[in-house]
Amino acid sequence: MRAAGTSRAEPEETSRFAKTLAVLNWMPQRCRYDPKNPPSFTLGMNILLAFVRLSPRDAVLASRSPTNSGQATTFTVANLYYAQPILNVIAEEFGVSYERASNVAALSQAGYAVGLAFVCPIADMVPRRPFILFLIFMTATVWLGLCVTDNFSVFIALSFICGVGTVTPQIMLPLVGDLAPPHRRASSLSVVVSALALGLMIARVLSGIVANYASWRNIYWLAFAAQYVTLGVLFFTLPDYPAKNKRLKYFPLLWSMVVLVFKEPLLVQACFTGFMLSGAFTSFWTTLTFLLASPPYEYSSLEIGLFAFIGIAVILLAPVWSRLITDRFVQLFSVILGLLIDFIGVVIGTFTGTFTVTGPIIQAVMMDTGANLAHTANRSNVYNLDPKARNRINTAYMVFAFAGQLTGTAVGNRLQLERSL
């Protein structure tokens, strides 16, 4: 009798558990995956994914293909940059030194690096819709602590956690690579990449303006609301996609990413060029502040900040030239062209930047153009290596690009210091 009773209880408990999961994973009928009629990649979806990623910076993408792609990117990636222009205000609010306040930005970036290496690859083994929604929900909920806490140690700890969850844009890119048709892949990726750049720019400018006229907490409340709006929009619009590697385990997943770097020469080439491009790009923008604040320019902080808007034209036109060049020719041509444009910009800026502001302006435009063109071509190229491993491939590429940013910042600051002595 006991055995019989137990056997009846187990199915009942299993049924309850299944019902609970069904409730948590509920989605509108139009978002459910139908293998006979998979969701098409539209311009609207492309834009939507881009916006989520950029968190103010990906709006440009929303009009391109899967509508969700742009918006998602816009309102998540900006989380990393809101604090940068107001670190001095945060230091005064919490009564800490500027050096300690800088840990807010540093730990946000460190959290992003951790998420990039250990969270993004998971998208290759789980359905991406619930994974993306969970990351946004987790980050937005933790973000509430940043809005209300008065403890600086708690503030920087929460900044790190939010950085880990802000990797949604790096999941959107491989998703766009999966959905976009081959003849439009580069231009579709360029929409998302441009959205990232726009989000970074808008986040910094918006943060500085809000902090100048109101409490710095307002920008955090605004970001909190934007993330939940993004979550709601994606919940009702982001289509479901099946997992690509259901039987793959987590640690073998990470190891396979390392193997890919040593196994695929094309990925090695892309990682190397991505490292160098990111290093040069970050070095320029890091040292530009010192150049413009020194004679003969002596610009104010506001004037230096407005320099970021130079890249708007590049951001808006990037999908166009990706469509005209990268989608039509072999990707290596676009990579070499991007590197050449980047190099010419460096030469012009180096020899003219000390006596005319035209030099830095030309260098900024050309470096933005070259980096966008080459990065988009690299991604479009390496995504063809293994369709089932695109998140791991993107993670490997971004780890090298991130390392290039750190190297460029360190080397640029060191050279600037030696030059000023």
Residues 148 and 277 in one domain: no
Q: Are 260 and 386 in contact (CB under 8 A)?
A: yes
CA 416 to chain centre: 28
Residues 281 and 223 in one domain: no
* Residue 275 in domain: yes
Q: Please report the DSSP string for 145-156 in residue order.
A: HHHH---HHHHH
What is the domain range of residue 388? 250-420
User: Residue 17 has which token pair?
Assistant: 């558990």
User: Residue 399 has which token pair?
Assistant: 């780890």
Residues 189 and 160 in one domain: yes
Residues 57 and 172 in one domain: yes
* Residue 259 in domain: yes
* Residue 294 in domain: yes
pTM above 0.85, yes or no: no
Residues 380 and 301 in one domain: yes
Q: Please report the DSSP string for 239-262 in residue order.
A: PP---S-TT--HHHHHHHHHHHHH
* Residue 22 in domain: no
* Residue 371 in domain: yes
Of the residues 237, 264, 285, which one is the last residue of a structural domain?
237
* Residue 29 in domain: no
Residues 118 and 233 in one domain: yes
* Residue 200: Cβ within 10 Å count: 22
Residues 286 and 396 in one domain: yes
CATH number at residue 317: 1.20.1250
Q: Are 191 and 397 in contact (CB under 8 A)?
A: no
Residues 288 and 321 in one domain: yes
* Residue 11 in domain: no
Q: Please report the DSSP string for 321-382 in residue order.
A: HIIIIITTS-HHHHHHHHHHHHHHHHHHHHHHTTT-THHHHHHHHHHHHHHHHHHHHHHHHH
Residues 275 and 412 in one domain: yes
Of the residues 237, 262, 288, which one is the last residue of a structural domain?
237
Query: Which amino acid is it at 242?
Result: P
Polymer length in residues for the chain: 421
Burial of residue 12 (number of CB atoms within 10 Å: 0-12, 13-18, 19+): exposed
Tell me how many domains the chain contains. 2
| Cis? peptide before 296, omega within 30° of 0 | yes
Q: What is the DSSP letter of 167?
A: T
Q: How far apart are the first and last CA of the chain?
A: 89
Return the SS3 of 176: helix
User: Residue 90 has which token pair?
Assistant: 């945060």
pLDDT of residue 52: 55
Which of 129, 418, 409, 104 lies closest to 283 in space, CA to CA?
Answer: 409
Residues 266 and 401 in one domain: yes
Which of 55, 275, 59 lies closest to 169 in space, CA to CA?
Answer: 55
Of the residues 186, 215, 237, which one is the last residue of a structural domain?
237
* Residue 181 in domain: yes
Residues 162 and 224 in one domain: yes
pLDDT of residue 160: 94
Torsion angle defined by CA atoms of residues 232, 234, 235 and 238, in that order, rounded to the nearest 10 degrees: 170
Residues 157 and 261 in one domain: no
User: Residue 323 has which token pair?
Assistant: 């469509």
Show pLDDT as tens, one digit a residue, over the chain (421 residues): 444 444 444 455 445 645 554 555 778 877 777 777 766 666 666 666 665 544 333 332 233 333 344 444 545 677 887 887 788 888 889 999 877 888 888 888 889 889 999 999 999 988 888 898 899 999 999 999 999 999 999 999 999 999 999 998 888 888 888 877 877 788 788 877 777 777 777 777 777 778 778 888 999 999 999 899 888 888 888 888 888 887 888 999 999 999 999 999 999 999 999 999 999 988 888 788 778 878 888 887 667 767 777 877 787 788 887 888 888 888 889 999 999 999 999 999 989 988 899 999 999 999 989 998 999 999 989 998 998 899 999 999 999 998 888 888 788 878 877 776 6
pLDDT of residue 272: 96
CATH number at residue 200: 1.20.1250.20
Cα distance between residue 221 and residue 400, in whole Å: 33
